[in-house]
Amino acid sequence: MRTVRAEWTKLRSLPSTGWLLLAAVVATVALGFAVTGSIDADHCRSECHEDLTRMSLMGVRLGQAAVAILAALAVTSEYATRTIRPTLTATPGRIRVLLSKLTVVTGLALAAGAAGMAGSLLAARAVLPGKGFTPANGYAYLSLADHLTLRAYAGSVLYLGLIALISAGLGFVLRDTGGTIAAILALLYGSPLIAMFITDAKWQHRIHRFSPMDAGLAIQSTRDFAATTHIGPWAGLGVLAAYAAAAVLAGAILFRLRDA
């Protein structure tokens, strides 16, 4: 616990930490509000499959960038300033240092995710009735009492926690801030862009199925799964968890073997 407190103190002292957490929450809520505010009931019946929960939580696609950058800085900033040496002098157990850093960044990502997803659902609940999505028209209000909405909410929070683990793991592998941020953003946003230029439907399906972002965010779908996702909700989150495990394992091995 002393190591965890030390890592929290270091991360809290970075000026960027508070701003990145705020950016993660605001970006998530703002994009979700923009998406739900741009639709109406008549349009949604034919175009969006009426998955209001998924659309209200879509802001995580933007907010995740701030979480990924925060996790990268939590690891690589010590290499940039060479304070990693005093850290390892004070705590020679490298795996303990790694686990403490992962605990802190994952906890912050989960906290930001919980706040951002809750804000997104509240914003959608406020704006959707004005767009015709009312009980009178056959649309229930968004509520965490609904088990599918609760699954989408909790899964989206877990998604951000896994993104933080991937980014931190890459930080231990690359030990460079710019390289780590470029790598995690390319991993998240690159494969969906590549799929847009693939004409073969089978390969498109495979790319989306194993893309960390597309697979992980399948957890947000609450209806018409075959039309909106390429993989099951929990299976998709499992794919993302495999990416996180691989990144953390690679980071742990290299952190244990390499010089600081």
pLDDT tens, position by position, 160-184: 999 999 999 999 999 999 999 999 9
Which parts of the chain sit beneath pLDDT 50? none
Tell me what pLDDT residue 171 has.
96
Tell me what pLDDT residue 41 has.
77
Predicted TM-score (pTM) of this structure? 0.93
Q: What is the CA angle 208-217-223, rounded to 5?
A: 95
Number of domains in the chain: 1
Range of the domain at 208: 2-257
Q: What is the CA angle 93-98-104, rounded to 5?
A: 125
Tell me what pLDDT residue 227 has.
57
Measured distance CA(203)–CA(195) in Å, rounded: 8
CA dihedral 220, 223, 228, 234 (to 10 degrees): 50
Measured distance CA(125)–CA(155) in Å, rounded: 19
C-beta separation of 174 from 254 below 8 A: no
Exposed, middle or buried by CB within 10 Å (0-12, 13-18, 19+), for 45? Answer: exposed
Residue 41: both structure tokens together: 């009931």
Spacing of C-alpha 126 from chain mean position: 24
Tell me what pLDDT residue 48 has.
56
C-beta separation of 221 from 147 below 8 A: no
